[in-house]
Amino acid sequence: MFLNIGFISCGGISEGIVYDYDLDESLISKKMLNHSKMNFLLLDATKINGKSFYQICHIEECSEILCDIACPLEWQAYEEKWTVCNGGKSE
């Protein structure tokens, strides 16, 4: 099975590593990464600089990072991958 686009979430990102809290979810995320042409990492600001129990991948393996805030200064190496999303909020 191969996908054009895979979307994964995470429990945290720290020092270029993507983490998750759940072993099963982290294994499924790894499979998605390995079987997708493009990989989108979905996270909110609370996950930045947070470590968790299971390592999913290195952030370089993600095609794009979708977050609710702009790329923090300490993550400028990944700024080209970083996209700010407002979560579909409407007024």
Please report the pLDDT score of residue 3 as a whole number.
Answer: 85
Please report the pLDDT score of residue 54 as a whole number.
Answer: 96
Please report the pLDDT score of residue 38 as a whole number.
Answer: 95
The answer as to whether 9 is a domain residue is yes
Please report the pLDDT score of residue 87 as a whole number.
Answer: 64
The answer as to whether 40 is a domain residue is yes
Low-confidence ranges of the chain (pLDDT < 70): 1, 87-91
- The candidate with the shortest Cα–Cα distance to 8, out of 56, 48, 70, is 56
Please report the pLDDT score of residue 86 as a whole number.
Answer: 77
Q: How many domains does the chain have?
A: 1
Please report the pLDDT score of residue 18 as a whole number.
Answer: 97
The answer as to whether 91 is a domain residue is no
The answer as to whether 65 is a domain residue is yes
The answer as to whether 89 is a domain residue is no
The answer as to whether 13 is a domain residue is yes
CA distance 72 to 58: 18
Q: Is the whole-model pTM more than 0.75?
A: yes
The answer as to whether 75 is a domain residue is yes
Collect all residues with Cβ–Cβ distance below 8 Å to 60 and sequence separation of at least 6.
16
* 38: containing domain: 3-84
